[in-house]
Chain A
Amino acid sequence: MRVNFTVNGRPQEADDVWEGESLLYVLRERMGLPGSKNACEQGECGSCTVRLDGVPVCACLVAAGQVQDREVVTVEGLADYAKHRQDTHPGGGCASGACGTTLDEAKRWQSKPTDGRAGEAAPLSPIQQAFIDAGAVQCGFCTPGLLVAADELLENSPSPSDQDIREALSGNLCRCTGYEKILDAVRLAAARQEEAVQS
């Protein structure tokens, strides 16, 4: 079957999609967006977390056919998504992307690959930068899912408590770090966000 949907602000079309295929497979294998990781395939690990119409979901549990006409944001589009949020909705959030982006903005809004070297090639979202600065990345496999989940947390609760952070990230497994640096990174991003709003 054919599926049309929006990924990181761009209309996309996937052909010959198998009916039982997951959104994750379509993103990784058909659209060349391997940022969302494939690990457990049962919603346990959160490595494939993406935003579906603004809502964080496990892409492995969304049937490809279910995303017809809907909007997906992956970790590849996170920096642009966060920038758009800051430009168009300062201090707030743009969950659905239905805010009416101007044509000019839409034209400029593209997902660009980074070279993976501490963001030298392209600007990072605040949460991505915080992960680097806090040393929250080890093997990196869980990082994309954590970034998408943490970014959504900061969008909806600007000064989250430690409990809020733990709960928001409870669906994302990391087997390297023991989570402390990840929590540090989210606290750092929250603190920077607050500073930016105040100044």
Chain B
Amino acid sequence: MDFLRPASWEEALAAKAEHPTAVPIAGGTDVMVEINFDHRRPEYLLDLNRIGELSEWEVGQESVRLGASVPYSAIMEHLRAELPGLALASHTVASPQIRNRGGVGGNLGTASPAGDAHPALLAAGAEVEAESVRGTRLIPIDAFYTGVKRNALEPDELIRAVHIRKADGPQQYSKVGTRNAMVIAVCAFGLALHPETRTVRTGIGSAAPTPVRAKEAEAFLNAALDEGGFWESGKIITPAIAKQFAALASGACNPIDDVRGTAKYRRHAVGIMARRTLGWTWEQYRGAGRTLEGAA
């Protein structure tokens, strides 16, 4: 094994181009587990800790450019107003020790269907900034997850940042697990209201081979809210609409039975979380003047 320690982003890209099998390591919360348990013996480890800019973020007009290594603890502390859904999701990640090291870049690189950040990114709308010596490209989050623990990155590419749309309305995140800390999601659900475009977006975690949006549920809800004039009136969403939204969200799942839960349970729980997160966000939307920040 070789340990590559690039001191700059350019050096990191050059190293990745020269050694496409190199495994990037930042927080180490996934990679080191695999090494400790002898599940993986990469030829090269590519340490990204020395590249300070990966731990920085910029808040722009439309979006936040979040460096790949910004730890979850910083997202919770500093970006609750701009990225409420992701801040809530970050708060559910493991423990303080893990949140101090892990970040969204690693979540995306690992691309586990159970990664906590994914439903929040899908719901908010995001693009992954991938770079190689050949150049930079922005990969829409919807096209990023390609299979179980697979993503759209080329072998010579590294994740530099994630561009996440700033919240223009309430966002919520819900996760099912056996306790509040140190839990891999049994399943998770993210929901974001986008009043500017009068749309609702969703993200489902751990209930399909990849993180997915509940697109049919979104389309149904967008049409129902539009037809009923809900965005203007701020009326309570009728139970029939919420119920149908939940059923369609449940239908968007393609889960498996595993040690954490059964497929049937996951489908059921996603429906419940869809209905609840819709209720919570809609109450926030109705209550003018209330904070848009995540509740956690």
Contact = CB atoms under 8 A, between A and B. Distances in A.
A168 B96 CA distance: 6
B200 to A, nearest CB: 31
A171 interface: yes
Given A57-B100, A66-B25, A20 B45 contact: yes
A18 B95 contact: no
Interface in B236-267: none
Contacts of A60: 32, 36
Interface in A24-65: 41-44, 46, 49, 55-58, 60-63, 65
B2 A19 contact: yes
Contacts of B47: 63, 65-66
Interface in A151-199: 167-168, 170-173
Given A60-B32, A61-B28, A62-B28, A149 B5 contact: no
Interface in B76-125: 94-98, 100-101
Nearest to A171: B95
A149 B97 contact: yes
Interface in B179-206: 180-182
B33 A46 contact: no
A42 B182 contact: no
A38 to B, nearest CB: 10
A19 B2 CA distance: 6
How extensive is the interface on chain A, given as a class? 20 to 34
Given A65-B3, A66-B47, A42 B33 contact: yes
A20 B33 CA distance: 11
Contact of A170 (B2, B36, B180): B180
Contact of B32 (A62, A149, A171): A62
B97 A20 contact: no
A43 B98 contact: yes
A63 B29 contact: no
A22 B183 CA distance: 23
B223 interface: no
Contacts of A86: none
A42 B181 CA distance: 14
Contacts of A168: 96
Interface in B31-88: 31-33, 35-37, 41, 45, 47, 49
B96 A170 contact: yes
Contact of B36 (A22, A56, A65, A66): A22
A68 B37 CA distance: 23
B101 A62 contact: yes
Contacts of B169: none
Contacts of B33: 41-43, 61
23 contacts: A1-B3, A18-B1, A19-B1, A19-B45, A22-B35, A22-B36, A42-B36, A43-B95, A49-B97, A58-B98, A61-B27, A61-B32, A62-B28, A63-B35, A68-B5, A167-B96, A167-B181, A170-B95, A171-B94, A171-B95, A171-B96, A171-B181, A171-B182
Given A43-B29, A43-B33, 11 more contacts: A22-B35, A22-B36, A43-B95, A43-B97, A46-B97, A58-B97, A61-B28, A61-B29, A61-B98, A61-B101, A63-B47
List the 6 closest A-B pairs by CB distance, nearest first: A171-B95, A170-B181, A19-B1, A19-B3, A41-B36, A65-B3
Interface of A: 1, 18-20, 22, 41-44, 46, 49, 55-58, 60-63, 65-66, 68, 149, 167-168, 170-173
